[in-house]
Amino acid sequence: MRQQYTKNRMLRLFAGLCLTLVFAACAPAPESAQEATRSGAADTQVYQWKMITTWPKNLPGLGAAPERLADRLRVMSNGRLDIKVYGAGELVGALEGFDAVSQGTAQMGHGAAYYWRGKNPAAAMFATVPFGMNAQEMNGWLHYGGGMELWRELYAKFNLVPFAAGNSGVQMAGWFNKEINSIDDLQGLKMRIPGIGGEVLSRAGGVPVVLPGGEIFTALQTGVIDATEWVGPYNDLAFSLHTAAKYYYYPGWHEPGPTLEAFVNKDAWEALPPDLQAMVESATQAINDDMLSEFTARNNAALDTLINEHDVQLRRLPDDVIEVLRLASAEVVAEIADADPLAKRIYDSYMPFLQDVRRYHSISEQAYLNVRQEPSPEQAE
């Protein structure tokens, strides 16, 4: 009798356990698991993208950034976001990337917003403004001053999503085949210079020419242009620009903090699960910082090489030339606000931020740089 009771009890316990397992299997998944599924965390699909760039393939600095971005995203995503990078001219022309990505020929591009100034004059303000913000200030405006929201609003009209993805820091004023001693020396000067800087040069009497990087050396060497800006010592040395012109001028009034961009086709962006979108956000911001770090580290040695090994003549633009360029710049930038209501909003965001950050940096960054200067030989005695 006791054995039968024990046997029946065990059967009831077993049946109860089976029912518990059945109910557990049929019960809805915990909220966290549901969220993980909705977020795409369990997504194993491989997204194969093409990235087209404005830069020659594997050019140090500018050209290395998109390659590093693709490599980083491949590792971060465990191969789920696989991006093949095309240099300028490999898939489309160097200055055709904006339209190609907008139309879906490629999912991603890497370039600089001032090349697309024809789409909207205010686009150039997301790259650089003559006598405007430096790299640190641009990052502040874009990420914490409302700039990124305006940038994305502008690019949404073209089916694109932009990201800051590189900055060279303050550039050099450029290479010239003659000395610049006064504003008269700019009259009729044919210079490769894109963006707002090109329009400013035109107001000062020069002739701006827009050329992709791969065409600059030949144009300067053959006399098609009289001068060119490019980036700074690190990239300029790689292009051998010192063999086509000997006068190297500073400061880079036209590009004080040029932000380079990665831009993604909006449809391709929205097709990504949220975790891959977050990886793109993080990786582009890392590459933005990485490029500035690289140029900061490499420009010094490159400039020494240009001067000491190649006899490059380093020159400062005369104060009166800088002042003419400054006044012309103020006119050109103010006119951007007249393009359309969105351009006005971009201008009205950029300029107050510039004024505020300049005021604070006058007692912080600039004040420190002033006191850090090494004493002149006369002061040291």
| Residue-wise pLDDT tens digits, 293-349 | 999 999 999 999 999 999 999 999 999 999 999 999 999 999 999 999 999 999 999
What are 248's strand-pairing partners?
A: 175, 314
Predicted local distance difference test score (pLDDT) of residue 2: 42
Angstrom distance (rounded) from CA 321 to CA 303: 23
Task: Give a yes or no: residue 266 inside a domain.
Answer: yes
Task: Give a yes or no: residue 247 inside a domain.
Answer: no
Task: Give a yes or no: residue 135 inside a domain.
Answer: yes
Task: Give a yes or no: residue 65 inside a domain.
Answer: yes
Judge whether residue 352 has pLDDT over 80: yes
Q: Where are the alpha helices (DSSP H) in the chain?
A: 2-26, 31-39, 64-76, 97-103, 135-144, 147-156, 195-203, 216-221, 233-238, 266-271, 274-310, 319-336, 341-361, 365-372, 377-380
Predicted local distance difference test score (pLDDT) of residue 43: 74
The DSSP letter of residue 168 is -
Predicted local distance difference test score (pLDDT) of residue 24: 40
Query: How many domains does the chain divide into?
Result: 1
Judge whether residue 38 has pLDDT over 60: no
Q: Which of 362, 358, 251, 270 is nearest to 314 (CA)?
A: 251
Judge whether residue 213 has pLDDT over 80: yes
Residue 316 phi/psi, 5° resolution?
-100, 135
| Residue-wise pLDDT tens digits, 98-153 | 999 999 999 999 999 999 999 999 999 999 999 999 999 999 999 999 999 999 99
Low-confidence winner among 13-17, 80-84, 119-123, 188-192 (lowest mean pLDDT): 13-17
Radius of gyration, alpha carbons of the chain? 28
Return the structure tokens found at 371. Answer: 């006191």
Give the mean model confidence (pLDDT) for residues 82-91.
97
Judge whether residue 36 has pLDDT over 60: no
Give the mean model confidence (pLDDT) for residues 73-102.
97
Task: Give a yes or no: residue 130 inside a domain.
Answer: yes
| Residue-wise pLDDT tens digits, 222-239 | 999 999 999 999 999 999
**In the chain, what percentage of residues exceed pLDDT 90?**
86
Task: Give a yes or no: residue 336 inside a domain.
Answer: no
Task: Give a yes or no: residue 54 inside a domain.
Answer: yes
Label residue 194 by pLDDT band (50, 70, 90).
very high
pTM of the model: 0.86
Judge whether residue 29 has pLDDT over 80: no
246 three-state secondary structure: coil
| Residue-wise pLDDT tens digits, 238-270 | 999 999 999 999 999 999 999 999 999 999 999
Judge whether residue 168 has pLDDT over 80: yes
Omega prior to 251 cis, within 30 of 0: yes
Give the mean model confidence (pLDDT) for residues 163-189.
98
Label residue 42 by pLDDT band (50, 70, 90).
low
Domain around 105: 47-167+258-295
CATH code for the domain of 143: 3.40.190.170
| Residue-wise pLDDT tens digits, 269-278 | 999 999 999 9
What's the mean pLDDT when you consider all of the chain?
90
Task: Give a yes or no: residue 317 inside a domain.
Answer: no
Q: Which of 129, 113, 121, 115 is nearest to 194 (CA)?
A: 115
